């Protein structure tokens, strides 16, 4: 089946994954904010370790009210903007549309199901090192695998078609049988490295080069895994060592939270830290180290925006 795609947020994720789909011949409609004029006139540029490409003409819009209805909407906004999703989504969803939240964290699908009752929702976990380095200009540094899962999608066939479209576009993709487990697994990396790069003002390479910070990252990973286990998610503790080994081989990288901090944008603390801490606590497990990291990030956020 031919899918009409909508991409909400054409930055590091939306620009890359939407760009790959468009390059492969899929019909993709991009919602942009500050980059609209540039992309409308000059197109989208992706510099990738898998091969650079330029899309001279893209379906670019400054408002979702100008977009056609779409079958699959890839939400690539930061979770700090999720309060705006009901207004954004209303003009572009039809009765069988599926909204895929391509975001980090835990609990956003549940919240969106309350905000927009009746909509089919899935989640997308992107294992990628990618940044937006200029208007309509995406830099893909490493990795790129994506996992797609259902929150309440009644028919999995459209998710299977989405995975096949990504694969045909050159994006390693797979369907998750348990979205909640996939989100916790991604958090095992996101929680230590997003927060530590902010609090210690560094990048992944420097964290891995120092024995103390490397050990701290692994301890945080283990606490995430134990929190997941308490919530009934069967992650193995060996995952922590696997992720440390992977990160040691990774090109030097600043996670999106570090870039948000550097550019004085709100950080995604709620869904990456607060929600997992609350979920583990409700299951009887206190994530003490992660709770401390959450409080440090809250302090930094308040210092920048409230004082």
Q: Which positions are annotated as active-site residues?
A: 186
The two beta strands, 137-150 and 4-8, are unpaired
CA-to-CA distance for 185 and 3, rounded, in angstroms?
29
Helix/strand/coil for 147: strand
Q: Helices (DSSP H) in 1-143: which residue ranges?
A: 19-23, 36-42, 85-89, 108-115
Length of the chain (residues): 307
CA-to-CA distance for 116 and 90, rounded, in angstroms?
9
Neighbours of 260 (CB within 10 A): 18
Q: Exposed/middle/buried for 205, CB within 10 Å: 0-12, 13-18, 19+? A: middle
Confirm if 235 and 125 have CB atoms less than 8 A apart: no
Q: Which two tokens stand for residue 152?
A: 């309440």
Q: 263: which residues sit within 8 A by CB, 6+ positions away? A: none
Q: 303: which residues sit within 8 A by CB, 6+ positions away? A: none
């Amino acid at each position: 089946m031919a899918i009409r795609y909508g991409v909400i947020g054409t930055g590091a994720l939306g620009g890359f994954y939407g760009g790959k789909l468009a390059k492969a011949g899929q019909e993709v409609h991009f919602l942009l904010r500050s980059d609209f004029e540039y992309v409308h006139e000059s197109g989208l540029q992706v510099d990738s370790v898998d091969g650079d490409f330029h899309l001279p003409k893209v379906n670019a819009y400054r408002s979702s009210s100008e977009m056609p209805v779409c079958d699959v909407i890839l939400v690539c906004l930061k979770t700090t903007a999720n309060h705006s999703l009901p207004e954004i989504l209303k003009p572009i969803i039809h009765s069988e549309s599926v909204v895929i939240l391509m975001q980090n964290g835990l609990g956003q699908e549940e919240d969106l199901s309350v905000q927009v009752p009746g909509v089919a929702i899935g989640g997308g976990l992107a294992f990628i090192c990618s940044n937006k380095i200029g208007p309509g200009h995406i830099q893909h540094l490493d990795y790129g695998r994506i996992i797609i899962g259902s929150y309440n999608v009644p028919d999995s066939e459209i998710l299977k078609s989405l995975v096949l479209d990504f694969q045909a576009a050159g994006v390693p993709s797979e369907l998750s049988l348990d979205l909640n487990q996939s989100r916790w697994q991604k958090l095992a990396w996101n929680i230590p490295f997003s927060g530590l790069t902010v609090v210690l003002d560094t990048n992944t390479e420097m964290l891995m080069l120092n024995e103390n910070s490397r050990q701290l990252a692994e301890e945080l990973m283990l606490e995430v895994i134990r929190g997941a286990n308490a919530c009934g998610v069967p992650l193995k503790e060996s995952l922590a060592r696997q992720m440390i080994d992977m990160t040691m081989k990774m090109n030097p990288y600043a996670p999106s939270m570090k870039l948000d901090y550097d550019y004085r944008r709100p950080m995604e603390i709620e869904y990456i830290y607060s929600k997992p801490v609350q979920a583990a606590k409700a299951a009887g497990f206190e994530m003490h180290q992660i709770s401390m990291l959450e409080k440090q990030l809250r302090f930094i956020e308040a210092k920048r925006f409230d004082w």
